[in-house]
Amino acid sequence: MSSQPLSNADIAWHTLDLAKTVDLLSSDAETGLTESQVAERRQQYGLNELEEAKGRSSWEILLDQFTNIMLLMLIAVAIISGILDAIELRAGDAAANEIPFKDTIAILAIVVLNGSLGYLQESRAEKALAALKKLSSPRVRVLRDRKFSEIDGKDLVPGDIMLLEAGVQVAADGRLLDAANLQVRESALTGEAHSVSKNANLVVEEHTPLGDRANLIFQGTEVTNGRATALVTNTGMQTELGKIAGMLQSVESEPTPLQQRMSQLGNVLVSGSLVLVVLVVIGGLIRVGGFNWVVLRQLVEVSLSMAVAVVPEGLPAVVTVTLALGTRRMVRRHALIRKLPAVETLGSVTTICSDKTGTLTQNKMVVQRVDLVEHHFTVSGEGYIPQGDFQLQGKTINPQDYPDLQKLAIACALCNDSVLQHDKDGWSILGDPTEGALVVLAGKAGVDKEPLSRQMPRKGEFPFSSERKRMSTIVSGEAGFEMFTKGSPELILECCQTYQAGETLAELTPEIRTAILQRNNDLAAEGLRVLGVAVKPLNDIPPLEAEETTERELTWLGLVGMLDAPRQEVRDAVKRCKEAGIRPIMITGDHQLTARAIASYLGIAQEGDRILTGQELQQLSTEELEQHIGEVSIYARVSPEHKLRIVQALQHRGKFVAMTGDGVNDAPALKQADIGIAMGITGTDVSKEASDMVLLDDNFATIVAATEEGRVVYTNIRRFIKYILGSNIGEVLVIAAAPIMGLSQVPLTPLQILWMNLVTDGLPALALAVEPAEPNVMKRPPYDPRESIFSRGLGSYMVRFGVIFAAVTIVMMGIAYNYFPHWQTMVFTTLCIAQMGHALAIRSNSQLTIELNPFSNPYLLIAVTATTALQLMLVYVPPLQAFFGTNPLTGTELAICLGFSALMFVWVELEKLFMRIFSARHSVALPLD
């Protein structure tokens, strides 16, 4: 044995022969490792498990909620309000019926509520790594000290000898020492659905893609057939699965556009309110001619009311409920949202990177061409339904009129391990999709596999192997034994001497061979997977090891070209994407010709567009990739690292990326993407846990539907932010005007302001959150995800409305203060009722309220009616009067409140008319949101 140190992190094991591999790992295929070697290596490499990076604890997440600048300001207001109440109690100035500290308690209750909402949104534990760990820790049989034993997968070390058989989950990466008919399902790692045949004797080139390294086995994959012995080469974080775990942990979650906008909103509101407070305090002291404790206390009370007024306490709850309602609508459209902010984030997507198989396609192989030497047939029909037409030169033919076609159909049915089933849910295939396509083809030609298999039972077979690239079955019939063979067209053609022409045999001349190979290339260029089919009569059943001599002197039957057919609805979805300014990109592990054919059909790429393969991408630097990223719409033969690099390159170019995936290998890219989309049917637990959204039907069209919902949600969020903050600005200005006007009391208490911000603002805002989509929602480009919350006129509208709102209310306040005893309640009621008219008017930026269908959003009518009734209860129900500090209004006082409130509705409607006239004269499009 070699004594050189173990350093296997960067060794390309697939490029080494068996002897070199065993030597490098200081192991022995006959005896395995000794206990002392195992102990030494465990010390060096650690346990064979994935290491988890330390995340935020639950306490840290909870405390982070209270670092929000708006909540911090509310906490400060609550503390100061509590101090003032305590001073009043101590001095005996509090009113007899006054509930002590009610403002403080109410404000702190809102702080706790908002903090709890934020905590619930963020406290979902990161489960992607936990799902990975499930794949990495099965039981495994090993050879140690010349004895076989079963151990936990976590106890494996490099140099261990593993025994593998069908049904076993591979516990570590390894180099095959020997293998018998070994097939491994690597879909979780590579994304490819088909089991891969393995060969211990192969040595492949260094840059061979992961899925083509047939001499290696990988942690987290599953043995589906055969048996093998493997030498463990990598464990823990050095395995391919471990590398994915490392990439997963290296991806840092960025705040969503909505989170960034809400943070910006908080900063602007708090900064603006603090400036206003300073101005009011200084202005009030100047007005009274200097420092005065009584006046200062009044100014402090005004400042507290202003601070409460400026913070939209109900906004976090309204946003959360809006996003939750969005998730419910998306579930009805087969999209399950795992993280609430992703609902709105979808509306900002500019690029969708999609897998091909199952998402853009049906994940059902369908035979489209059958090429005999003398006839070229086109086959119609969808999915696994064994019904369809054969066309020859554009005319439908009866396949039973062509004996050579019938012979090929029989071969497709009998050289096959799949079963076609029919139940209440329709037709389905039990077995390999490619073989299933051949059974369906036979059915379309009038050959039913089930009765045929009873008439011509299988007596022997030569299983598929990666060296021969073909399989053969031997069946018995009335005329004796026949062997049917299918596989690589080139290799099967080499084994043929004749071909079937009708009912007779003819010689395969060099010219005919050349024509068959050319036809094979033509079909492959169309993106079809092509198989060759042949037959041979036999006198007896050959032994299993006689495949090399038996699979000779075959009779060529023809070529079969099949395609994983595109989903019909995806073509329209791609068109909608492009109309909406969203660029679809295909990223697949398939061959570039297949990818081009599907992408061209669906409209993702145009004829002649460039394709970038994984091998080419590997040679590009990050800067070079970013230069090409804007012109490439198809990426073929890609690996996990490639997907991650593609997403990062798009993001560096300012794109907002949605990425689909179903395998473990997709998890890092899903987490890196702005929206990670996992497959609900074929997706692994790891991909789902790393994603923001799960497609319940694995359909690309669902992504487009979810994107539309995301745009509607963002539009409605802007709509109710405009509604809430417009009134808040008005409230602040009204409160600030009171000391400047020399009023003896604050017009609104903090508790009354909380009522307006939570109930008067909150209920109509929730109703606005379910406003139906505007007609152009998918006819325009996505809005810039980095745009300010105040962009596109929202900020100017809020200021404009707030100023008018305040001006109207201040005029009413001046009149009421001088002529009516209940002026504070009148101000309170006017502000609340005016909001109801505002809610009705703000449904559209361009259409008048009378032009809108009032029942298209019945929730708004209910909210306005209920809120108005609740406000009147505060004024006229004695217990509520006492708690909120209101007085019953006379009929005259209430009429004045209603009249001034209606002015705000009239103002908004007149503003729409003005904008309509202005836009018509200047040919300017009116904004729809």
In three state form, how does the secondary structure of 592-611 look?
A: HHHHHHHHHHHCCCCCCCCE
Residue partners of 847: CB distance under 8 A and separation at least 6: 912
Residue partners of 895: CB distance under 8 A and separation at least 6: none
β-strands 470-477, 504-507: how paired?
unpaired
- Choose the catalytic residue: 85, 160, 173, 355: 355
Q: How far apart are the first and last CA of the chain?
A: 74
Letter for the amino acid at 342? A
Kindly state the tokens that stand for 315.
């906004």
Q: Please give the Cα distance from 130 to 122 (Å, whole number).
A: 18
Buried b (16+ CB within 10 A) or exposed e, 845-864: beeebeeeeeeebeebeebb
Number of Cβ within a 10 Å radius of residue 514: 10
Distance from CA of residue 7 to its chain's centroid?
38
Of the candidates 459, 437, 460, 462, which has an alpha carbon nearest to the alpha carbon of residue 449?
A: 437
Handedness of CA 207, 210, 215, 220 (dihedral sign): positive
Main-chain phi, psi angles of 619, to 5 degrees: -80, -10
**Can you list the alpha helix ranges (DSSP code H) found in 92-136?**
102-122, 128-135
Main-chain phi, psi angles of 424, to 5 degrees: -60, -25
Q: Please give the Cα distance from 407 to 411 (Å, whole number).
A: 6
Kindly state the tokens that stand for 111.
């702080």
Q: Please give the Cα distance from 347 to 341 (Å, whole number).
A: 11
Q: Please give the Cα distance from 48 to 233 (Å, whole number).
A: 11
Handedness of CA 747, 751, 755, 757 (dihedral sign): positive
Kindly state the tokens that stand for 678.
């996992």
Q: Please give the Cα distance from 693 to 359 (Å, whole number).
A: 14
Q: Please give the Cα distance from 202 to 222 (Å, whole number).
A: 20
β-strands 675-679, 657-661: how paired?
parallel
Q: Are the CB atoms for 722 and 703 separated by under 8 Å?
A: no
Q: Please give the Cα distance from 379 to 370 (Å, whole number).
A: 7
Q: At what angle do helices 433-444 and 403-414 cross, to 10 degrees?
A: 140
User: In the block, which residue shows the tokens 């009030």?
Assistant: 284
User: In the block, which residue shows the tokens 């075959």?
Assistant: 554
- Is residue 909 packed enough to be buried (19+ CB in 10 Å), middle (13-18) or exposed (0-12)? middle
Of the candidates 723, 612, 890, which has an alpha carbon nearest to the alpha carbon of residue 322?
A: 723
Residue partners of 862: CB distance under 8 A and separation at least 6: 767
**3-class DSSP state of 466:** coil
Residue partners of 535: CB distance under 8 A and separation at least 6: 407, 411, 482, 483, 484, 485, 500, 554, 555, 557
β-strands 361-371, 376-379: how paired?
antiparallel
Q: Please give the Cα distance from 633 to 650 (Å, whole number).
A: 12
Q: Is 355 a catalytic residue?
A: yes
Half-sphere CA count of 17, side-chain side, radius 13 A: 1
Of the candidates 347, 427, 335, which has an alpha carbon nearest to the alpha carbon of residue 698?
A: 335
Q: Please give the Cα distance from 591 to 575 (Å, whole number).
A: 24
Residues taking part in catalysis: 355
